[in-house]
Structure 1
Amino acid sequence: MLAPETLTAIADELAQAERDHSVIPRITARYPDATVEDSYAIQGVWRDQALADGRRIAGRKIGLTSKAMQAATGITEPDYGVMFEDTVFASGSELRHADYSNVRIEVELAFVLARPLEGPGCTLEDVMAATEYVVPALEVLNSHIELEGRTIVDTISDNAAYGAMVLGDTRVTPGDVDLRWVAALLSRNGEIEETGVAAGVLGHPAIGVAWLADKLAQHGDSLAAGEIILAGSFTRPMWVHPGDDVVADYGDLGVVECRFV
């Protein structure tokens, strides 16, 4: 692994990039021997610094769980990051485009846990039993590392490129809806740009949450009751710009929308 002082220095760079809304050179270009374990260690240092500054965890995000996202990024394994309470918005919110870097939108489902969820050996059934409700959501991607040539190590280090989450209003109880068949139409300024079905996330979005519980167990962590889990996008990321209106129509599950100013 990279030396502890190197991990801390990179985490400091990423924290400064978040404050400046800027982009830093690829970690893997500077440290070609950096591993996935290094990247989660960098993310962990960054997370702990944020917690020390008073931020509070709202939940976790899972990324790169669908073929669409893997094809769009060239990365072939899932990853995860942390979401803080100050990054959660209600549908209809206005978001400042300048607060983010390389700004894109993804369509997802969010699982809100009624009780803790731990690995290893977590199953789809375990996730469904632990979930209080599922709600449609948008994820705002916020990349602080240059995109060209990036690897899974770069993405994980950058908190899995998470920026913000916009939550819908329609809550469904697991089992009341076949979550595999939840579909969405993603529009920018009234024009449909992307469509997708939630089964694109590993065959069932709850499988992504089970993957996360098992992955966290490898790092001595688990999911707590009340956490919000973004299960992964089932569309490709859509670029957004200042002035854009974004609407995701989930049919019976309602509409999630936001505007970038």
Structure 2
Amino acid sequence: MLDVRKLSLLCDLERLGTIAAVAQARTYTPSAVSQQLSALERETGLALLERTGRRVTFTPAGRVLARHAATVLAALEETGAALAALRTGPAGPLRIGAFPTAVRTLLPPALVALGREHPALELMVTEVDPADAPAALRERRLDVALLTDYDVAPGDVDPDLDSVPLLDETVFLAVPAAGDCATLGDARDQPWILASEGTQCHEATLRACAAHGYTPRVRHRADDFATVLALVGAGQGVSLVPGLAAGQATGVRLVALSLRRRTRIAYRKGAAGHPSVAALVATLTGG
């Protein structure tokens, strides 16, 4: 019988592209990953990878196995969810990942309600950027996570995850109260407060400004919207802020844009029926 952990590494390799990337994601050494994949080849009796120096590519057999392995992993997840559903109710650890604004606004009432209705649940929240959440779900560091994407920067469809929509909100241009910007185009010559490179907020801002023919001039970098709004209120620049964070604005004028941000509740494929996951989804969506 094929080892599930080795199959998971093969799926990681197909997704990430290199053994070094798999090793980094799994906190293994590249040598350990290579040994596990070689052991998987011995188990199948087939060459799964072609090695040229430090590079590896999938053989036809490797691609077939990786495709079926993803189905197997999802089926195992669904099986675990079905077995968990036979218990008396949601219980045990539920690891939730969410971005800071959601941790402050969306999660507290949900945590209170879940704790009251399902006292056997052990709720654990971790702040995580939506860009990092899919990997945390796949690697089983999280059970549920809130993911976001913008209409100007749509998120990739991850075949290992399922999700349900939670929120669709307006994105605002935040300017100092005394500022005279009325459109995104007016902010062309303003200093900007941008999120860190690699985050969705950063990419969405670059694309929104590019649509108006310019690249924003960065003065400050901040990832937490409360910090962003404090800097805007202090006259340090302008920024894009989603509606969920707009209530924190003081000394700031918010200009509604045509941009939208969407938030989804995501979990591993096959986990929708897990009682703990289902309870959190129902609480957050009001279902």
Q: TM-score, normalised by structure 1?
A: 0.23
Q: TM-score, normalised by structure 2?
A: 0.21
More helix by share: 2
Select the structure with the greater relative contact order (CA < 8 A; seq sep ≥ 6).
Answer: 1
- Structure exhibiting the larger radius of gyration computed from Cα positions: 2
